[in-house]
Structure 1
Amino acid sequence: MALPDIGAWRDLDFFASDWPGIEAAIAQDDRDILPPQVQRFAALQLTQPENTRVVILGQDPYPTPGHAHGLAFSVEPDVTPLPRSLLNIFKEMQDDIGAVPTTGDLRGWARQGVLLLNTVLSVPAGEAHGHKALGWQALAHQVLEKTADKPTAYILWGKPAQALADHIRPGDHLVIKSAHPSPLSASRGFFGSKPFSAVNTWLKNRGEPVIDWARNSEAE
């Protein structure tokens, strides 16, 4: 399958050196692979390098069919109940800024410059981390390096995301680290971390528009 239009991200070395092998491995996998091919690079399509102001790293897509649509932590707007990590994100957001989106579709964030990138962009249905050995992580490494060309806010939830911090080149960045919002760890430092107000304070102090975290995906 030809790559979708991902704009300036296409210049990353990953797409010449790593992607052909990953694409071939996925093509040979006879399991149901999520998200659908046309949505696999949705995060890069929606948030271009020059528009990226915030980066939130996830792990791999939701393994439940109908949930993942190419953005970390986000789900299709009709998904109920929400995945538990996303429920915890919204709980912290409500406590932090007093508002949340009306659905779990976070494309409204992406359109404001929040790159919602998983470190692995595919998963076999029902098999979390089933594609973690394909080599996807090189893409996240290169995206972090590229976004660090200008001041950017990074939200690193959990140890796997925090382990990638070395790929963020030094600069006038905001780096927020806390426990992951999953039910197993949210009570160990995610709740009460107030990342949403922290990002907006940082952006405001830089003279940039803040993120409307409660914006619905349909809003333009």
Structure 2
Amino acid sequence: MTPPEPWAHLAFFADPWPAIRDRLEGTGFLPGPDRVFAALEALRPQDVRVVILGQDPYPTPGHANGLAFSVTPETPLPRSLRNIYAELRDDIGAAPQTGDLSPWARQGVLLLNSALSVMPGKAGVHAAWGWHHLARQAVAEAQAHGPLAFLLWGNHAQKTLAGLPTDRDLVIATAHPSPLSARRGFFGSRPFSRINAWLTAQGRAPIDWSA
């Protein structure tokens, strides 16, 4: 579980990461040591254009692949991701073929969870371990390289990154796409076309959200 080199200088990796690493050793946590830093391994700070913050990995073995809201290609779509894809189709007319969001990450979408580990069947069990410091530090590091689009779904994401967006960033904050809240402002928010319009206005390439 070596920190990805482009991010290894973050203060988190001096403290509290060593203590978290020791607590994780031999526990059978998800998504496992080879995928725990997948969101940061997918892109460098200077390549981040969009931030989507989730909570923690899916607690069902074989589902999580280390990217927020994303699952392994063979996994049926979780309910929140089904709603995200429904909004995508309404917004831009297309959605990915599987629940694996790795193509988004490769285009500069930081799909980071506020906690990067979980135990099977125990959602949120590591939420108070200090992982949230990494989320804030990683986003701040990416901001140093240019304005970002923040896609903050739900109170948890909005509170975790509170105070970080600046006037030069785009912030789209709505209800979470979960079935319990999606109809309270997530559906109809058209975040994907809004982000692409913002990127295009800056002379930057849009995201292919259907990839």
The answer to whether the 8 A contact 1:141-1:167 is kept is no
Q: Could you tell me which residue of structure 2 aligns to residue 13 of structure 1?
A: 11
State the Cα deviation string for residues 110-158 of structure 1 (Å, max 9, x = none): 0000000000000000110011121111101111221222211010000
**4+ runs deviating over 3 angstroms:** none
Partner letter of residue 152 of structure 1?
Answer: L
Q: 2:198 aligns with which of 199, 202, 220?
A: 202
TM-score (norm 1): 0.92
Whether 2:142 is the aligned partner of 1:147: answer yes
Q: Structure 2: how far apart are the matches of 1:195 and 1:180?
A: 12
TM-score (norm 2): 0.96
Whether 2:60 is the aligned partner of 1:64: answer yes
Q: Could you tell me which residue of structure 1 aligns to residue 126 of structure 2?
A: 131
Instruction: Decide whether aligned partners of structure 1 residues 152 and 189 sit closer, same or farther in structure 2, where only a CA change above 3 A counts.
Output: same
Q: Structure 2: how far apart are the matches of 1:203 and 1:164?
A: 24
Q: Percent identity of the aligned residues?
A: 54
Q: 1:94 aligns with which of 85, 89, 100?
A: 89
After superposition, where does 1:20-59 map in structure 2 within 5 Å?
A: 20-27=18-25, 30=27, 32-59=28-55
The answer to whether the 8 A contact 1:34-1:124 is kept is yes
State the Cα deviation string for residues 32-83 of structure 1 (Å, max 9, x = none): 3100110010000002101000000000000111110100000000112x10
Q: Structure 2: how far apart are the matches of 1:47 and 1:95?
A: 28
Ranges in structure 2 where 5+ consecutive residues have no aligned partner: none
The answer to whether the 8 A contact 1:64-1:125 is kept is yes
